[in-house]
Structure 1
Amino acid sequence: MKFTQIKETCLYISDLDSAEAFYHGILGMPLISKVKNRHIFFRCGNAVLLCFLPEVTKNEKTLPPHFAYGKQHIAFEVSQEDYKKSVQTLKENNISITHEQEWKDGLKSSYFEDPFGHVLEIVPAGIWE
């Protein structure tokens, strides 16, 4: 197999409206789909961020059941030029940076949390190269 990318990433949340306010309203991800009492999906670059209510999807009959609980992690990549602006946008929206990590070549990433306690990260392009 020669994968080209991870197309979908999933978080399990407890409130669709809070997810919309955070991921669309603050982080600026375009909304793709919202189904009351089930899910909300966002465009993230070439990928899709799926946010499901786990109490619903763990009982799926049509698709394979899936769910998770606890602190999940996703890193969002921005250009190196946009990194500082992205971190500043978080701060301007009263989102605390919980940790800043310095990686190879002096690149840094910043960790923060969504309204559900998931550990999110902003990384500049080049971190994994």
Structure 2
Amino acid sequence: MNNKTGFNRLGRNASHRRALLKNLATSLIMHGKIETTQAKAKELRSFVEKLVTRARVDSVHNRRIVARVITEKDVAKKLFAEVAPRYIGRPGGYTRIVKIGQRRGDASEMVVIEFVDAAADNKKEANIAG
């Protein structure tokens, strides 16, 4: 019996929720990390990890599946060329969620979701620069 195996509806209908996740995923791939609410980040984590797993194998079939979600061509190219190759030997767990406190207006728990190796890359650049 699999109790409580559902997902968070995020207070939106299905099409609005899907559009939200597509836009958040596009922003995450484009920028490497984004700031959002904890509930959105937890839903985004599973959504993005499925895309990265697809992008690890560069085939026409996988490119078309990813293109249904990531509609910006340059972001899809970045996913296949830069993001996915970093995780070839890693069996999942491509993202990290870091709590940053509560939002001032409504006290929502805010987090930063980022790719795990992106933080290591930023530290290396900081060490080289300074």
TM-score scaled by length of structure 2: 0.26
Structure with the larger RCO, 1 or 2 (CA within 8 Å, 6+ apart): 2
Whichever structure has more helix as a proportion of its residues is 2
Whichever structure has more strand as a proportion of its residues is 1
